[in-house]
């Protein structure tokens, strides 16, 4: 935790003494451990995904749906030993996987906790659910620990990354990290029930009025990644946190925008697209320290 360089900000702070850009200290801080049924079908399956929500984030997205924990730092600090216990408690509930949400600032803790948990019987796959603003060296540290990578690819235009998330050089950093993830675990492999065992699924949240971004991202994936890569297009956007400060982000997707996205997705060989709904807010977890 000295001279922290886990993410591409390379803060170089001593997190034993102060917080990094991510607003995280040296100990793991969690907001919720729960069974989550609303991930991609191959992740949640019938039994759910054993989801662990970490507090803090190296992003500052104005539309963050989890802003209570990412920006406002709600959560509880725990020991590495307790984190390992949480993994095992989730496995005992017969979930399909352990799903680590916003894990980047805690990679060192997670690796130690997984070592302990595996020594005590953890056998289900581990999902690394990330915004992708990762140093490649950090992803390399996770080789052999992570079975399934679930990276976002939020922006093609780096200027939008700065405007909405205060992230420099996002696309370049994220795509290099994603390539390393694919080199480790490849494209998805499934069991006989269609539950993912290993591989990469790239997520992209569509923003209203920004369909050109989605087009550019899909084109880049088609031109640069394996043809059988899985892509998950998310239509769940709704204005929350500080989104209404930007007029172009002050509404949900329209039916016309959604139909336009459907035509793009048909160009991909594998993947998912969320249905356009009217109650997306209901799928945001209640962060109440349950399971911590």
- What the chain holds in terms of domains, given with CATH numbers, is 29-283 (3.20.20.70)
Q: Specify the pLDDT at position 278.
A: 67
Question: What tens-digit pLDDT sequence spans the chain (292 residues)?
Answer: 789 999 999 999 999 999 989 999 999 999 999 999 999 999 999 999 999 999 999 999 999 999 999 999 999 999 999 999 999 999 999 999 999 999 999 999 999 999 999 999 999 999 999 999 999 999 999 999 999 999 999 999 999 999 999 999 999 999 999 999 999 999 999 999 999 999 999 999 999 999 999 999 999 999 999 999 999 999 999 999 999 999 999 999 999 999 999 999 889 999 999 988 767 787 789 999 999 9
The pLDDT of residue 100 = 98
pLDDT of residue 159: 98
Position 147 scores a pLDDT of 98
**Long-range Cβ pairs for the range 118-123 (8 Å, 24+):** 120/84, 120/88, 121/88, 121/91, 122/84, 122/87, 122/88, 122/91, 122/98, 123/91
Rounded to whole angstroms, the Cα distance separating 56 from 79 reads 16
Assigned token pair, 136: 């490649």
Question: In the block, which residue shows the tokens 């769940």?
Answer: 236
Please report where in the chains the tokens 């909405």 appear, as a residue: 164
pLDDT value for 280: 76
Contacts of 248 (CB under 8 A, 6+ apart): 208, 209, 210
pLDDT the model gives residue 277: 76
User: CB neighbours of 101 closer than 8 A, spacing ≥ 6?
Assistant: 51, 52, 53, 54, 66, 129
Cβ-in-10-Å burial (0-12, 13-18, 19+) of 248 comes to: exposed
Q: What's the pLDDT score for residue 282? A: 73
Tell me if residue 47 falls in helix, strand or coil. Answer: coil
**pLDDT value of position 276:** 87
């Amino acid at each position: 935790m000295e001279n922290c360089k886990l993410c591409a900000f390379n803060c170089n702070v001593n997190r034993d003494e102060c917080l990094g850009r991510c607003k995280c200290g040296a100990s793991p801080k969690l907001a919720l451990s729960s069974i989550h049924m609303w991930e991609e079908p191959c992740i949640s399956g019938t039994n759910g995904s054993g989801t662990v929500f970490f507090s803090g984030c190296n992003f500052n997205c104005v539309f963050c749906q989890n802003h209570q924990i990412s920006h406002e730092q709600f959560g509880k600090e725990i020991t590495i030993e307790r984190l390992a216990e949480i993994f095992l408690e989730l496995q005992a509930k017969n979930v399909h996987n352990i799903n680590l949400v916003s894990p980047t600032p805690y990679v060192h803790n997670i690796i130690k906790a997984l070592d302990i948990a595996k020594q005590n019987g953890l056998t289900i796959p581990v999902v690394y659910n990330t915004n992708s603003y990762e140093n490649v060296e950090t992803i390399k540290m996770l080789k052999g620990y992570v079975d399934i990578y679930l990276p976002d690819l939020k922006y093609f235009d780096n200027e939008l990354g700065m405007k909405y998330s205060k992230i420099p050089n996002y696309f370049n950093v994220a795509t290099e990290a994603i390539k390393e993830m694919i080199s480790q675990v490849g494209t998805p492999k499934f069991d006989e029930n269609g539950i993912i065992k290993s591989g990469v699924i790239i997520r992209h949240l569509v923003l209203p009025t920004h369909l050109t971004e989605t087009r550019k991202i899909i084109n880049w994936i088609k031109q640069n990644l394996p043809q059988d890569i899985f892509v998950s297009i998310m239509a769940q956007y709704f204005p929350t946190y500080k989104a209404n400060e930007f007029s172009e982000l002050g509404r949900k997707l329209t039916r016309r925008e959604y139909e336009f996205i459907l035509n793009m997705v048909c160009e991909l060989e594998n993947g998912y697209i969320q249905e356009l709904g009217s109650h997306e807010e209901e799928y945001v977890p209640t962060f109440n320290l349950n399971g911590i």
